[in-house]
Chains A and B, each alone.
Chain A
Amino acid sequence: MSDIDVTLVELFPIDKAAVQKAIKLHLSEAAPGRASLLGPVLGVVTDRAAASLNEALHVDLIGLAGETLSGLRELHDYSGADKPPAGGEAMVTFFERTLKAPLTLGLHLEVDHIKLPSLELTLDLRLVFEALTVTVKAGHVRAVGLGSGHAEASVRYGNEVLVPLFSSRPLELPPKSFDPGFAIP
């Protein structure tokens, strides 16, 4: 079965407990004076924060991989609109590779029009696949195929691990095209 449209939130939803833990840590470190102020509404704020964070994770997994791949040094040779030569199309295949694509989840909080320091969570995402195929045209990653594999992720607040490394179900990610694609810097 194809997982061509699978999103991050489907694989790694962030639960409220982790969010609440992160908020508490964050407020105690970054805004100790305001921590008590949020106390009575911490539950609802956590609820909304978790929903917002998960909403932000409505991101296409293959697209995310494509954008991450476009920034890799392995593809720097294809930077520029004339790479590969005009009209050409290059297909680059990597075997048994793990694509590490770390992400930052920022949560901006404003209480009574006072901005609190943003809470920043790190999602260490790893895509583990047998053969990863990238199609490059005119200096852009135009298609990505990950084939069979799985994804792994952990969530941390600073050095504090909120969600230990978790492996997704097996995935089948066929080639997916993007127009105009992701520019290779």
Chain B
Amino acid sequence: MTPAEVALAQAAAALIGKAIEGERAGTPSHGKTGYINDYEGAPVDKALAALRRQFRPAVSYAASSRPKGVVDLQDPKNVEAPIGTAVTLRVSNGQPAMRFLGDYEGQDARLAQGLLQKDGFRVADWTWTPSYHPRGVVELQDPKNANAPIGAVVTFKVSTGSPPLGYVRSYEGQEATLAQQLLTRDGFRVVPWVWAPSRRPRGIVDTQAPKDAQLPFGAPVTLKVSDGTPPMGFVRSFVGQKAKLAEAGLTADGFRVASWIWVDSKGPRGIVEAQDPRDASRPLGATVVIKVSDGQPPVAVVRDFEGWDAQVAEISLQKAGFQVADWTWAYSSQPKGLVVTQDPKAVRRPVGDLVTLKVSLGPAPPTIWPWIGGVVVVSAVAGGGFGLRKGYSHWRRQQLIASIHAVADPPAAGRSSLEGPSGSPMIIDLQAELTHLPGSLEPTEKESP
């Protein structure tokens, strides 16, 4: 067969085919028209029954969101068309139409919503959530990256623009390693520890910043961890100052002030009389004891030392806080050196009061100083005009008395008694003084050979 014969045969076959097709399509219109109604959404049986009267409906089945047997798509529809026109009906087979649903997380929510709606999906009302993303960005999308029935509902969680917050718990006093783990678990970032002296054991969190606060997740948290050595501070002295001021100052310095100890004192009420420790280094947090004046002078019992050795009496009274005046001496039946009378005695008196002691010279000698009949007291003071004195010694009155007594004893016979009518002591005062006269400088005289 020649090519021309082949082409002819093909053309003939085409014409035959068209003829056959035309017969299948129905009756020719012969110029008449009809109106093709819209049957989308209607049951296919009803659509076919109506369309077959004038047109040639063709049915195909496809997935659709409509119920099974319902016309999903119709073409043409709602038009005037020649009688016998072919109308295609796509009927839902009951299987929903699927479409790939993209991931719009991190994108603008409005834009994402528009695109999804264009693809036939529905977007539910947004829910807002704290996020590090800018406001209006899709934080979470569900579903995503999957085939989904057209018309399916997509949910968006959209960023409010404010970061999510977490509660930073305090781990002070807890083991630093554990604290770090728990803070990390809670979503926070623990910066490298800072080691510092502390009264806590080594490895324990001494201070934490921030703590007990709402903070964005991922915020840095600093832990100051004890290195086991106590921090030291200098305890200033507040003696003589107001106790309230002292307490405030010591507390500000990092020390703890124990309850005030009120003590009797001549000082004004509320003034620190004593402090322990003071002017010393101590671990911060150490307790400082302050004794505070109650404004009441201390009172003590002046014991009765009459009949006691005068030295013992003086020392005991001084230890009790009393001052002892220079002894006065008197002959008495008491042995020498014993206290004859004491004033005051056996009473309560403010500490610091003066106590006088009259001390026995022993039994009175039968006779001594004929002209006065009293006790002789000699005091001597050495003085001088030079500023270069050295070794100055103070003569104790009682030593002088002892010297005089030694001179007067044994007494001369036939003299009157010491306890004579006058009764007053004879007092002799001595004072030596050195002054210099103008000097001169002269050539040294040579000794004759």
Which residues of A are at the interface with B, using a C-beta cutoff of 8 A? 5, 7, 37-38, 40-41, 43-45, 47-49, 51-53, 55-60, 63-64, 67-69, 71-72, 74, 94, 96-113, 128-129, 132
Query: CB distance A44 to B407 under 8 Å?
Result: yes
What is the chain B residue whose CB lies nearest that of A58? B391
Query: CB distance B432 to A67 under 8 Å?
Result: no
Task: Give chain A residues whose Cβ lies under 8 Å from the Cβ of B427.
Answer: 110-113
Near A by CB (< 8 A), chain B positions 348-399 give 368-372, 376, 378, 380-384, 386-393, 395
CA distance A68 to B440 in the complex (A): 8
Query: CB distance B426 to A96 under 8 Å?
Result: no
Query: B327 to nearest A CB, angstroms?
Result: 18
Partner of B382, one of A52, A72, A99, A112: A52
Query: CB distance A63 to B388 under 8 Å?
Result: yes
- Main DSSP-derived SS at the A contact region: mixed
Query: CB distance B389 to A49 under 8 Å?
Result: no
Query: CB distance B433 to A40 under 8 Å?
Result: no
Query: CB distance B378 to A71 under 8 Å?
Result: no
Query: B424 to nearest A CB, angstroms?
Result: 9
Query: CB distance B436 to A100 under 8 Å?
Result: no
Selected A-B contacts with CB under 8 Å, 14 pairs: A43-B407, A45-B430, A47-B403, A52-B432, A60-B388, A67-B436, A74-B441, A97-B443, A98-B445, A102-B437, A103-B435, A108-B429, A111-B426, A112-B428
Query: A32 to nearest B CB, angstroms?
Result: 16
Query: CB distance B380 to A68 under 8 Å?
Result: no
CA distance A69 to B376 in the complex (A): 44
- Encode contact with A along B412-449: 1 for CB under 8 Å, 0 otherwise: 00000000000000111111111111111111110000
- Encode contact with A along B236-266: 1 for CB under 8 Å, 0 otherwise: 0000000000000000000000000000000
CA distance A40 to B313 in the complex (A): 33
Task: Give chain A residues whose Cβ lies under 8 Å from the Cβ of B443.
Answer: 96-98
Query: CB distance A72 to B441 under 8 Å?
Result: yes
Known: A109-B428, A110-B427. 9 other contacts (CB 8 A): A37-B371, A38-B428, A51-B380, A53-B432, A58-B389, A99-B441, A101-B439, A102-B437, A132-B441
CA distance A51 to B394 in the complex (A): 11
Query: B427 to nearest A CB, angstroms?
Result: 6
Query: CB distance A100 to B439 under 8 Å?
Result: yes
Task: Give chain A residues whose Cβ lies under 8 Å from the Cβ of B391.
Answer: 7, 58
Query: CB distance A109 to B436 under 8 Å?
Result: no
Task: Give chain A residues whose Cβ lies under 8 Å from the Cβ of B432.
Answer: 49, 52-53, 55-56, 105-108
Query: CB distance B403 to A101 under 8 Å?
Result: no
Query: A15 to nearest B CB, angstroms?
Result: 15
CA distance A96 to B427 in the complex (A): 50
Query: CB distance B431 to A107 under 8 Å?
Result: yes
Task: Give chain B residues whose Cβ lies under 8 Å from the Cβ of A38.
Answer: 428
**Most chain A CB neighbours (cut-off 10 Å) among B386, B391, B403:** B386
Query: B394 to nearest A CB, angstroms?
Result: 10
Query: CB distance B434 to A97 under 8 Å?
Result: no
B79 CB within 8 Å of chain A = no
Query: CB distance B388 to A64 under 8 Å?
Result: yes
B400 CB within 8 Å of chain A = yes
Query: CB distance A59 to B428 under 8 Å?
Result: no
Query: CB distance A68 to B426 under 8 Å?
Result: no
- Encode contact with A along B261-304: 1 for CB under 8 Å, 0 otherwise: 00000000000000000000000000000000000000000000
